[in-house]
Structure formats: structure tokens, C-alpha cells
Amino acid sequence: MSMIEFRDVQKYYGKFHALKDINLEIDKGETVVLIGPSGSGKSTLARTVNGLETIQEGQLIVNGHDIADRKTDINRIRTDVGMVFQHFNLYQNKNVLENVMLAPRIVLKLDETENKKRAMDILDQVGLADKAENMPSQISGGQAQRVAIARSLAMRPKCMLFDEPTSALDPEMIDDVLRVIKYVTSQSDMTSLIVTHEMGFAQEVANRVIFMDQGQILADDETSKFFENPSNPRAKQFLSKIIKH
């Protein structure tokens, strides 16, 4: 069963052709890493999946629902599909626990006792139970990103999108965040699409690696194949460049 399916998708920003002939199927439970040069369309592709960007042609089916169909409830899709960005945007005037409890309270209408119990469980999973009462200004960037992940997980999504979740972090905080993402992706019923430049991490978690350039998918390879000998020469070039880095 596929969780995400792009069929001949075209995306334009005005006249600029940002996604070209995208065909991509991600099965339930799969972890797919998306890489490519800056400006290649990675964020655009990820953002179409939960309707943050519209598509102009083709079909995009997410968890059985056609995103472009007017009858599709986009809020329902966003409940099923969590997203974590490069710049964590926590509610600065609410403590860590409240940040995690807010959406389940409003969207899922969970009662307070159940909501708090679940939120504390999730904070425990991301290693931050002891920071529950802290304000966002009182935790590190890496911890804030883990709260952002916890906040998404509190909605019990079927699918998670990560868009360069560690790119804005100091090096010493990256591993803690990657460890949490690895834990999330190891849940057998979770589907994940991860944009990242962390190639060691990609090698550990991904079932497949997709390489994009100039709005096109140029390679879609099984992980071991991708790192040994990617099917596209530009992917090979890109890989050797970032691994040297």
C-alpha cells in the first residue's frame, strides 16, 4: 500500500517550473531520504505532500486522498502528515509541555488527563521529560527541535516529513536530533520522507534515496545501491562532493 504517490506532477511558481514530471511512490512504513543541490525543489516537493504548496498538473495521492481534489479535507491530511522544518517554530509564550499538548487538545479534542499523559510519554521518548516546564527560551536549539518533533508526534501522524531538520543546529546538537528521528522512523507503521545532507544518517535509516536536480527526480535507488553506485552520474558527482565536505 502506498502512503504517498505522485503521478506526473507539475508544479509552477508563476512561470517557473519547480517540479517536473514527478513520479514517486512511497509505501506505508518506508523511510525515504531526499537529497539534491540547493534550489533543486526538495522543500517544494515535501511541502506539496501536506498541501502547503499546490500542484498544477498530475495527481498526488496521500493516504488514499487526492490532494488536488476540492472534496479532500486538507486539515485531515495535515493531521495524518506531520512536518518538521529547519527552523523550529515553537510557541515562545508556552512551555514545552503546552507546545506538545496544544494541537491534540484543539484538533483531536483529547481530554486534558489523557493529553498530558501522552505528551509526557512522547517527551520521554525524545529525552526531554525533565524540560516539560521550561519555556522555549530556556532550552537549546537541539532540544527545541526535539520538542518540534514531539509536537508533531503528539498528533499520532501516519507520515512524517522532515525538511533539513538539523541544518540550523550547532554540530554538537545534531546527533541527539538524528537519534530521535531514527527512533521515529524505526516505528514499523510510520512513513517518513526526510530531506537531509547527513549522509551517514541517510545510510542508516533510509530504504531508498532520491536525488533531485532542477525540479526533476534523477535517481531513485535502494540505499546500498545509491551509496555504492548511484544510477545517475549527477547523483554520483553530488554524493562525492558532500561526502568530501
Ligand X SMILES: Nc1ncnc2c1ncn2[C@@H]1O[C@H](COP(=O)(O)OP(=O)(O)O)[C@@H](O)[C@H]1O
Out of Mg ion, ligand X, none, which partner does residue 99 contact, by CB within 5 to 8 A per kind? none
Least distance CB 13 / ligand X (angstroms): 3
Instruction: Between 14 and 171, name the residue whose CB sits nearer to ligand X.
Output: 14
- CA proximity to 149, closest of 18, 169, 15, 70: 169
Instruction: Between 102 and 168, name the residue whose CB sits nearer to ligand X.
Output: 168
Instruction: Between 48 and 152, name the residue whose CB sits nearer to ligand X.
Output: 48
- The span from the CA of 157 to the CA of 146, in Å, is 16
Residue ranges that bind ligand X, judged by CB under 6 A: 13, 16, 18, 36, 38-44
Task: Please pick, from the candidates 31, 40, 43, 196, the single residue that binds Mg ion as defined by CB under 5 A.
Answer: 43
Least distance CB 43 / Mg ion (angstroms): 3
**Which DSSP state fits 89?**
-
Out of Mg ion, ligand X, none, which partner does residue 13 contact, by CB within 5 to 8 A per kind? ligand X
Instruction: Between 177 and 217, name the residue whose CB sits nearer to ligand X.
Output: 217
Longest dimension (CA), the chain: 55
- How wide is the angle at C-alpha 152 spanned by C-alphas 147 and 157, nearest 5°? 150
Give 82's strand partners: 160
Q: For residues 67, 68, 71 and 73, what is the CA-based torsion angle, rounded to 10 degrees?
A: 30
Least distance CB 48 / ligand X (angstroms): 10
Out of Mg ion, ligand X, none, which partner does residue 91 contact, by CB within 5 to 8 A per kind? none
Buried b vs exposed e over 219-233: b needs ≥16 C-beta within 10 Å?
bbbebeebbeebebe
Asked if 196 is part of the footprint of Mg ion (rule: CB under 5 A), the reply reads: no
- The string of DSSP codes covering 15-76 is TEEEEEEEEEEEETT-EEEEE--TTSSHHHHHHHHTTSS--SEEEEEETTEETT-TTS-HHH
Least distance CB 132 / Mg ion (angstroms): 31
Least distance CB 210 / Mg ion (angstroms): 14
Total of chain residues touching Mg ion, rule CB under 5 A = 1
Least distance CB 163 / Mg ion (angstroms): 6
Residue ranges in contact with Mg ion by CB under 5 A: 43
